[in-house]
Copies of this chain bind each other. A is one copy, B any other.
Amino acid sequence: MQLQRYQIPVQKINHIFISHLHGDHYLGLMGLLFSMHLQKRTSELHLYSARGLDEIILLHLKYSKSVLNYNLIFHSFDPTQSALLWEDEALSVETIPLIHKIPCAGFLFREKIKPRRIDKDKLQDGMMLQHIASLKSGMDIIDDKGNIIYKNEDFTLPPRPSLSYAFCSDTAYNESLIERLKGINLLYHEATFMEDEKDKAKETMHSTAADAARIARAASVTQLAIGHFSARYKDLDPLLAEAKAIFPNTSLAIEGETFELEA
């Protein structure tokens, strides 16, 4: 329903990453899978989760006697180990072990190093397409005799920065995250409570807004988004203030908000 409300093109989603099997983190999935089916999806869908999700989904399908129009590919992972879940030439997705009541992992989305950019003002007549492709990949253009015709740095600009995003929900305060999150551009970190409910946070294996900010500061991330607030907080400004006091570049991760990654 939220995907629809925010006009996310559902059929373009090919990979879904589930952090853990608490209801608030995956109960909408079954409805989404059926919706994709009703909307005539045919391309395969990859689901990444700790063990159990496959069993649950197959049981739903069994009792509804449903055969989906598309293939579901289950990728079960061990949330206690960091692992590469997926990559292509542009992006990789790794798990981040979190500390919670049940097996739980965050996800680190990292762009790979991008090609150099052609400086269009410097393009010359006689340059061929394969010259441009080679320049983009960082090479100089050399003739038969080994002489440099086009020197890379004369024609290209450095690549755009590779951006990274980490999603960490749900987790107790966990300093071992710091090393994994070093220098990433956007960190989503849960902040279920405020510091005055520190004991409650410990007991339920959640974090406070200050905890999230401490991790962000220690990992020198560019920006922090906090979310997963307890329903007890009707006003979220105090949570934001608590985090900002420690890590100023913090925002509230409100549903429907868009975050621009900052290099």
Residues of A within 8 A of B (CB): 1, 21-24, 27, 30-31, 34, 52-53, 55-56, 59-60, 62-66, 101-102
Q: Which of A27, A30, A66 has the most CB of B within 10 A?
A: A27
User: Separation in Å of the A172 CB from the closest CB of chain B?
Assistant: 16
Contacts of A21 in B (CB 8 A): 60, 63-64
Judging by beta carbons under 8 Å apart, are B27 and A23 in contact? no
Judging by beta carbons under 8 Å apart, are B55 and A59 in contact? yes
Residue in B56, B63, B66 whose beta carbon sits within 8 Å of that of A60 in the complex: B56
Contacts of A22 in B (CB 8 A): 64
Residue in B34, B55, B63 whose beta carbon sits within 8 Å of that of A102 in the complex: B63
Please classify the interface of chain A as helix (H, G, I), strand (E, B), loop, or mixed, using the class held by over half of its residues: helix
Q: In the complex, A145→B230 CA distance in Å?
A: 72
Judging by beta carbons under 8 Å apart, are A65 and B23 in contact? no
Judging by beta carbons under 8 Å apart, are B59 and A63 in contact? no
Judging by beta carbons under 8 Å apart, are B65 and A101 in contact? yes
List 9 additional A-B contacts (Cβ < 8 Å) besides A21-B63, A23-B30, A52-B62: A21-B64, A23-B64, A27-B34, A52-B63, A55-B59, A55-B63, A56-B59, A64-B102, A65-B101
5 shortest interchain CB distances as A-B pairs: A52-B63, A21-B63, A23-B34, A65-B102, A27-B31
User: Separation in Å of the A12 CB from the closest CB of chain B?
Assistant: 20
User: Separation in Å of the A193 CB from the closest CB of chain B?
Assistant: 15
Contacts of A53 in B (CB 8 A): 63
Given contacts A63-B102, A64-B102, contact A30 B31 (CB under 8 A): no
Contacts of A23 in B (CB 8 A): 30-31, 34, 60, 64, 66
Q: In the complex, A102→B23 CA distance in Å?
A: 26
Q: In the complex, A88→B52 CA distance in Å?
A: 40
User: Separation in Å of the A173 CB from the closest CB of chain B?
Assistant: 21
Cβ-closest chain B residue relative to A65: B102
Contacts of A27 in B (CB 8 A): 27, 30-31, 34
Contacts of A102 in B (CB 8 A): 63-65
Cβ-closest chain B residue relative to A62: B52
